[in-house]
Amino acid sequence: MELKQLFVTALIPVLKVLSITALGSYLALDRVNILGEVTRKNLNTVKTIHCFFIQSLVL
């Protein structure tokens, strides 16, 4: 496998994560206001983290 192709193949997942992070950060801005203040407050609770993210660690 050519070095350039190997580099691009390894870079694609990193770029996907960075693009999703950038999109989430943009949507969380107060200017965009996709999520209301109450929704943002509820998403930051420990229970939400437990329900969604801990289950992925079990698998």
The per-residue DSSP string of 15-54 comes to HHHHHHHHHHHHHTSTTT-SS-HHHHHHHTSHHHHIIIII
pLDDT band for position 58 (50/70/90)?
A: low
**pLDDT, tens only, 9-46:** 999 999 999 999 999 888 878 788 887 788 777 777 76
Query: Hey, where are the domains in the chain?
Result: 3-58
Nearest to 24 by CA among 42, 43, 8, 38: 43
Mean pLDDT, residues 48-55 = 71
pLDDT value, residue 42: 78
Element (H, E) at 57: helix 55-58
Which residue in this structure is represented by tokens 């929704």?
39
